[in-house]
Every structure is written in structure tokens, then in C-alpha cells.
């Protein structure tokens, strides 16, 4: 299944790093009755993800808040230790963006957003996308054609649609 506008998100368990180690996060609990922006990147610390994609959501965080968005979540096929360090390194955590790991690519595969780029060492990774979700239903979905591009999935592009 490839996710489309109007679809209900499948339930998924993602990971975050809590005080006592990895903690499970039920995506359905984060989206139920809420307005949430979810964006995904091919990999933490990769050039476009670090220099363009995450910064675009840091820049637009206040504008999303003003539109009633309850939370902005970044998902990557990485472990929660990497996601925590990357959130701190980019300033995303300080800006209030929650970075969640999908280490086995389960959610990414369930929504049909997986891809491989063996020359870059990226296997079972996520395509670059951004979506606006209300009460678990996708209202706006933008997917980049190329994983090295951040245009339609940038915070400014998604913000213009909601």
C-alpha cells in the first residue's frame, strides 16, 4: 500500500530515547484527536536531511503552531540513540520537534515509502515526505521524487497547503 491523501495512518510503534533507554511510542496515540505534521528523512546526519529538511521545520515551527498544529514529528529509519543525538545536533529537539526512530522500517514499509540506495549505503530507508494529519487521517501529503531533494517536502511547502 502506498499512502495517499485521505488514508488513515496504520498503527505503528516507533522509538524514542527516554531517561531509562529506548521507549515505544504508539503513533496512533500521538495522532488521535490531534493535528500533527509528520515528515520523514532518508537518514539522520545525511546532507540534505541535516542542511535543508530539518532546518525548514525549525524555521516554520511557530507558523505551524499558529495554525493549530499540536506536534511536529520527524521519522527516520534509524535507532533512537542516533535520533536523539541528531535532534540535539540540529537544534530540532530544542525547537520542539520530536524525532522518532523506525529502526526496522516497519512503519515506512507499511505506508509504502521505503527505498534503497546501495551506493550511499542506504537500505530499507524512507523516501523523503511530509504530511499533515488530522485525527490519524492524512489531509496533505508531499513526496519528493529524489531523496537528495528537499522542495515539496520542506516546511514552507507543507505550511502553504494547510
Grid cell digits, residue 94:
530544542
Task: Output DSSP code: residue 105.
Answer: -
Out of 40, 49, 99, 154, the active site residue is 49
Q: Is 49 a catalytic residue?
A: yes
Grid cell digits, residue 79:
535507532
Query: CA dihedral defined by 73, 77, 82, 85, rounded to 10 degrees?
Result: -30
Burial class (CB in 10 A: 0-12, 13-18, 19+), 70: middle
CA 141 from centroid of its chain's CA atoms: 12
**Hey, which residues are catalytic here?**
49
Amino acid at each position: 500500500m502506498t499512502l495517499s491523501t485521505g488514508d488513515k495512518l496504520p498503527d505503528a510503534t516507533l522509538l524514542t530515547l527516554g531517561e531509562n533507554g529506548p521507549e515505544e511510542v504508539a503513533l496512533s496515540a500521538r495522532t488521535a484527536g490531534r493535528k500533527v505534521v509528520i515528515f520523514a528523512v532518508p537518514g539522520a546526519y545525511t546532507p540534505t536531511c541535516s542542511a535543508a529538511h530539518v532546518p525548514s521545520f525549525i524555521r516554520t515551527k511557530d507558523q505551524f503552531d499558529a495554525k493549530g498544529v499540536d506536534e511536529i514529528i520527524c521519522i527516520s529509519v534509524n535507532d533512537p540513540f542516533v535520533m536523539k543525538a541528531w535532534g540535539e545536533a540540529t537544534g530540532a529537539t530544542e525547537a520542539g520537534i520530536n524525532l522518532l526512530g523506525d529502526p526496522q522500517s516497519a512503519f515506512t514499509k507499511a505506508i509504502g515509502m521505503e527505498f534503497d540506495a546501495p551506493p550511499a549505503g542506504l537500505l530499507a530507508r524512507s523516501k523523503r515526505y511530509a504530511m499533515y494529519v488530522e485525527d490519524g487521517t492524512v489531509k496533505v501529503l508531499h513526496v519528493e521524487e529524489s531523496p537528495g531533494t528537499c522542495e515539496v517536502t520542506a516546511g514552507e511547502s507543507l505550511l502553504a497547503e494547510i
